[in-house]
Chains A and B, each alone.
Chain A
Amino acid sequence: MSTATAAHDDHHDHGAPAGLMRWVYTTNHKDIGTLYLWFSFVMFMIGGSFAMVIRAELFMPGMQVVDPQFFNSMTTMHGLLMVFGAIMPAMVGLANWQIPLMIGAPDMALPRMNNWSFWILPFAGTMLLSTMFMEGGGPAFGWTFYAPLSTTFAPDSTDFFIFAIHMLGFSSIMGSINVIATVLNMRAPGMTLMKMPLFVWTWLITAFLLIAVMPVLAGAVTMMLTDRNFGTSFFSAAGGGDPVMFQHVFWFFGHPEVYIMILPAFGVVSQIIPTFARKPLFGYASMVYATASIAFLSFIVWAHHMFTVGMPVAGELYFMYATVMIAVPTAVKVFNWAATMWRGSMTFEPPMLWALAFVFLFTLGGFTGLMMGVAPSDMQYHDTYFIVAHFHYVLVTGALFGIIAAVYYWLPKWTGYYPDDRLSKLHFWWSAISVNVLFFPQHFLGLAGMPRRIPDYSLQFADWNMVSSIGGFAFGLGQVFFFFIIVKTIRGGEKATDECWEDAQGLEWTIASPAPYHTFVTPPEIK
């Protein structure tokens, strides 16, 4: 066995192949992680430009920039691209890069499937974007694509949207199978489940969530397809179906989806805070159980998105109590992060700044989520800008800030260079201020009654919309600056040490910076 292993090692003792085909044929987890991350950045920029159109139109009352149909298309495509094209692939990219490095595995368990999972994405993304150039325009029914808006009253391009969603879901399912197989089968000797880094734990749980809910989303869009083209009436009241059932099926997927986007970010923050507080993570086991509890609860709360459809009061009460219960494991996490920092020797390098902003601002988004989880008050907030403010605090200052924190944290390991400290801090402060200018006023707008998904509004909403738009343009500009920082880091800078951050714990810090093309061909021994 040892001879065979040595021969095997010799055979693979080479660097990355050259040329474009390296990226097409690659089965290397680092290459595929890089592809995922760049793909998600491109989608983030396109989805972000759609957000700029939305904010430009809402800069002042009246119709100025686009027509209402196109505005609806912008809100729809912005949501779809950010959820399925930016946040989810970015998390998969981080998983691809980091999970094998953190558990001491030579690669993902299923490298060829890994390649396929990625290469589905650009085609699905392009197909989704191409709908905007089709007759009748792109999907304009919101990212939740409620029937009958997405069936009876949708443009022809919706069939391409359905195919794209099927492909994206297929890619996600394969990606999550790969993560589960890798974590369960490929851990280095001695790396027991309860020794795994939190990022790996959160991703393992996320992968199980994905496997359970992506097929349900696929079921929903398949039913949409047959309703649209093959005479079925799953969601058509005229044919004996029920449009409200679409909402049930969609949110059975949609609510766990929120946690699919945020749990890996929890994992990232749980890696970063101990490093820069120079203390072990407080309450490791409780963090694992809290993550699992959140994942379980995420399956049984979906109808809190539909309190206004006319559910029985008993149903509303059940979904309200179950929803509010999620605050308990989430608070366990927030208190554990605070306890980790307590009396730590804290320093504020860029990853820590983003992680701290995450803790403060995600918690703010969590609190507004609690407000909506209470059924009677949700009747007031439903379909207003308050909801828009809430989920952008959760997904932008939560999931996106988590991703940016992760990029700053692991970029020295990936590239061999530290990001420019001054520019990175400028990026942080610019983004942290502008994102609050962008989203905080939307709470006021929502509480004052401004409905979401509208291109025009009453005069009383004018001032805060203008403030929000200014924040939006500033935040968008800040992310172009992020691109500049990343490219600058890849091209050179201060050389990173192998450890990268002082006294950082974990297997990924034991290998060279930049990480060699092949790592842990001989598994490390975990004590």
Chain B
Amino acid sequence: MILVGDVMSSDVDPNDPVRKAGNRRTVVILLLVAVGFYVASFLFLADR
């Protein structure tokens, strides 16, 4: 749910500081997803 709300709202002024906080949150979440898939690729094999 963290991506929903201010971040996905089109009413946010692109120059608003809220946007910058949203950017930071988006980066952190997406990086975690990427790391998750990286680790999962090892677990996929380690399971065998």
Contact = CB atoms under 8 A, between A and B. Distances in A.
Interface of A: 5, 8, 104-106, 109-110, 173, 176-177, 180-181, 184-193, 211-216, 218-220, 222-223, 234, 241-242, 245, 248-249, 252, 520, 523, 526
B21 to A, nearest CB: 9
A249 to B, nearest CB: 6
15 contacts: A106-B14, A109-B23, A110-B27, A177-B26, A185-B19, A189-B13, A193-B8, A211-B34, A212-B37, A215-B41, A216-B37, A218-B38, A218-B41, A222-B42, A252-B41
B30 interface: yes
B10 A245 contact: no
Contact of B22 (A5, A105, A184, A248): A184
Nearest to A191: B10
Interface string B21-48: 0110011001101111111111011001
A181 B27 contact: yes
Given A184-B8, A187-B10, A211-B37, 17 more contacts: A8-B15, A184-B22, A184-B26, A186-B19, A187-B14, A188-B10, A188-B14, A189-B11, A191-B10, A211-B34, A212-B33, A213-B37, A215-B37, A219-B38, A223-B41, A223-B45, A241-B45
Contacts of B27: 110, 177, 181
Contacts of B33: 211-212
Q: Mostly helix, strand, loop or mixed at chain A's interface?
A: helix
A220 B42 CA distance: 8
A421 B38 CA distance: 48
Contacts of B41: 215-216, 218-220, 223, 249, 252
Contact of B10 (A110, A192, A214, A252): A192
B2 to A, nearest CB: 11
B10 to A, nearest CB: 5
B31 to A, nearest CB: 7
Nearest to B27: A177
Nearest to A234: B45
B14 A523 contact: yes
A216 B38 contact: yes
Contacts of A249: 41, 44-45
Given A110-B27, A234-B45, A215 B34 contact: yes
